[in-house]
Amino acid sequence: MLTKEEKRQFVKELIKKIKRNKLVVFCNFERISSGRQRELKKEFQKMGGEIFVAKRRLLQKALEKESIQFPEITGPTIIGLTPEEILPTKILKFFPKKKEKLEFIGGILKEEGRYTVLAKEELKELAILPTKEELLSNITRVLQAPIYNFYSVLNGNIKKLGYILANIRG
């Protein structure tokens, strides 16, 4: 059990973390072992974020102090905070195994100093969007395609010339 001072400190730290990150995701979770939770923490740490379990009342208090109008949260809650907008939703959506349950409650997106509350449906839509890296690699592929095709055409003509010369010689 936390003391009142520890609770106040936790709320202050949570507010700092919310201010520092671009996306905050809240999920209900069930039947996820501590080992699997560590795996999830490692995935979030790779992208510069963090994930942890929090008491609902302390979470609600932190949201109220930041004037974020978020619906009442129920059930065991895990919080994911990241500077990235899309990748965390993908990880949380596709992380659970068959018997595990990790379900979006909602989230907060910070843009230009303002908070936007996201419903679980919006988080599910974010999870199916391509990440920034995927978009950049697709753009690179599209930009490289004409050059590669031109190279293939030129290379094909040189090969044909080689076959013709080999036939003439032979």
Mean pLDDT calculated for residue range 40-62 = 90
Same domain? For 103 and 137 the reply is: no
The yes-or-no verdict on residue 32 having pLDDT over 90 is no
Q: Quickly state the pLDDT bin for 139 (edges 50, 70, 90).
A: very high
Same domain? For 35 and 92 the reply is: yes
Give residue 112's pLDDT.
86
The mean pLDDT value of the chain amounts to 89
Q: How many domains does the chain have?
A: 2
Same domain? For 18 and 84 the reply is: yes
Same domain? For 37 and 87 the reply is: yes
Same domain? For 30 and 84 the reply is: yes
Give residue 73's pLDDT.
87
CATH code for the domain in which residue 60 is found: 3.30.70.1730
Q: pTM for the whole thing?
A: 0.75
Mean pLDDT calculated for residue range 67-80 = 88
Give residue 34's pLDDT.
86
The boundaries of the domain holding residue 145 are: 131-170
The answer to whether 93 and 25 have CB atoms below 8 angstroms apart is no
Same domain? For 82 and 139 the reply is: no
The yes-or-no verdict on residue 99 having pLDDT over 80 is yes
Same domain? For 137 and 122 the reply is: no
Mean pLDDT calculated for residue range 116-136 = 89
Mean pLDDT calculated for residue range 47-60 = 90
